[in-house]
Structure 1
């Protein structure tokens, strides 16, 4: 797959990420529980991708070969638990986003994701093989983090200075570090399934199970709501999740973990910008910093996509 096409697909898929956040946020407000909203989102996503597996014969055939894949050690069985990382991410949202705010949470998560993307590519953990940390890839990654920080700085500044975020910020940072491994694990499975649906199915199944356990534990002495909202759009979070999980599982083999992640980040910023402009909520801020930061992130992605054969002047032998 040509890199420009892959980046375009990753960017489009990344737009689904802030859409999912907005939908799940509204559902959490109605239910009074971010964890329960995340469980509902994962369950809906599991049902949708499960129907897809049933409908498409290739997906059903691939799942039937799973015992053979595991027996031949095509990939470790625990790769199928990649969805637990997704559950960890949404759990972190529910526990820390009120303390950190969406902006700081996003910066920490993107920083962790970018650093981990460089590392997983360098050691060849993903299905695309080893991709060394060149000067160009490092500069592109650094500029991407700077661009995201620049884009969300107005929201961080609006919160005021506080040291209360120093410990909670480790949650989204660690979730970002793990996200690159989640993409690599899903991509490796997809390489053998030859379709993203089985890996996406197991991703949502593991995440749903993990969140179900968390909700069960936290519900003791804290009764669940007696009714659920009737607005159908509040249940679209799982569908948006299917989009970027399945797309990432396909692209990571062709572009590597870092570029796939940066493409998703670019789409995330563009999607957030579109929501803040056309469907703002209280606290939405769009100014020159937002626009220039988003633009810098897009430039950073293009820099990072320069072929690995290219070298900076100090790297030439």
Structure 2
């Protein structure tokens, strides 16, 4: 996901709109998953298998767009730290609730002291990886891009948690859709198709201009187009894993991969990123995340 984010961020510079960049990414993902579905299943998804199923079964793609759009609005109001931490808190919380109550027809995993402890370790690790704990040690500012204050700021913070809960719900829904269709890749294809339809409506409603430009008169890098392929792999992975290991653990393993990937991109300056060496506290945070996932998985 960090590589996908880097690719889509570069794509956004060339097309000029986050919604248009997302649409292009989703279209690449749909094309990838269409080919994968035909190769693996040898036929298009049989939506008749979903007849009689609850309406939420096809909402995974819509929730994906909600999460994407939500982060666009959160960042200028809450700053980078809260935009990362609040949705992750919502993801972890919702993942544990889905597992505990078996929502979205997910396999049940009762809430235990070990799972709660593991979730807290993971969130603490995230705070370490994104530099929150390091900033506290150095006594430097860690939050705040926004001039909003009072109740309005807290509404955005609550929204950040809700966006994270939507992300965990998307994982569970796509996992259930994969079970119903008997194909995780078909579930990912349907999810991406719904996302494309949602983004098209947004672009038409906002009258977003279609454009493709070069940055600094140089050629556009080839890798800016791979975000959709990586997004397709990600959605397929969540649809495949959630029914097997549960939504909560799937969400937490994903978060571990995201943080490790982000550190690697910064450490080595990949995909045009500025080199930024990982600090000891960031590495400690990554170790805490591993410990948190282990606590949930083993106990």
The question of a shared fold, defined as TM-score above 0.5 by the shorter chain, is answered with: yes
Alpha-carbon offset, residue 135 of structure 1: 0.7
**What runs of 5+ residues in structure 2 fail to find an aligned partner?**
none
RMSD: 2.4
2:164 aligned to which of 162, 176, 179: 176
Partner of 1:304: 296
1:70 aligns with 2:50: yes
CA shift, 1:155, in A, is: 7.2
Select the residue among 144, 153, 170 that pairs with 2:122: 144
1:27 aligns with 2:11: yes
Residue 93 of structure 1 is matched in structure 2 by: 71
Partner of 2:267: 277
Task: Please give the per-residue CA displacement for 1:113-171, whole angstroms capped at 9, x wherever unaligned.
Answer: 00000111111124542211111111111111111112211579555556645443344
Q: Under a length normalisation based on structure 1, what TM-score does the superposition of the two structures give?
A: 0.81
Q: Match of 1:13?
A: none
Structure 1 pair 216–155 and aligned structure 2 pair: CA distance change class (3 A): farther
Once the two structures are superposed, residues 7-33 of structure 1 have per-residue CA deviations (whole angstroms, 9 ceiling, x without a partner) of xxxxxxxxxx11111111111122221
1:261 aligned to 231, 251, 261, which one? Answer: 251
Structure 1 match to 2:284: 292
Counterpart selection for 1:129 from 85, 88, 107 = 107
Structure 1 distance, partners of 2:81, 2:109, is 30
Aligned counterpart for 2:43 among listed residues 39, 60, 83: 60
How far 1:98 sits from its partner (Å)?
Answer: 3.6
Residue of structure 2 equivalent to 1:6: none
Q: What residue is the counterpart of 1:310 in the other structure?
A: none
Per the alignment, in what secondary structure is the counterpart of residue 117 of structure 1?
helix
Counterpart in 1 of 2:24? 40
For the residues of structure 1 that align with 2:170 and 2:144, how far apart are their CA atoms? 33
Alignment counterpart, residue 49 of structure 1, candidates 18, 29, 33: 33
Matched, 1:83 2:61: yes
Provide the C-alpha distance between the structure 1 equivalents of 2:22 and 2:175, rounded to a whole number of angstroms.
23
**TM-score, length-normalised on structure 2?**
0.86
CA 1:191–1:70: 2 relative to 1, 3 Å: closer
Q: Which residue of 1 aligns with 2:174?
A: 186
Q: Using the alignment, how far apart are the partners of 2:144 and 2:188 within structure 1?
A: 40
The answer on whether the counterparts of 1:126 and 1:253 sit within 8 Å (CA) in structure 2 is no
User: Is the partner of 2:192 in helix, strand or coil?
Assistant: helix
For 2:72 and 2:124, locate their aligned partners in 1 and report how far apart those are by CA, in whole Å. Answer: 25
Unaligned runs of 5+ in 1: 1-16, 308-317
Work out whether residues 50 and 181 of structure 2, in 8 Å CA contact, stay in contact via their aligned partners in 1: no
| Inter-partner Cα distance in structure 2 for 1:169 and 1:185 | 25
Which residue does the alignment assign to 2:211?
225
Q: Distance in 2 between matches of 1:285 and 1:105?
A: 22
- Contact persistence 2:249–2:296 (CA under 8 A): yes
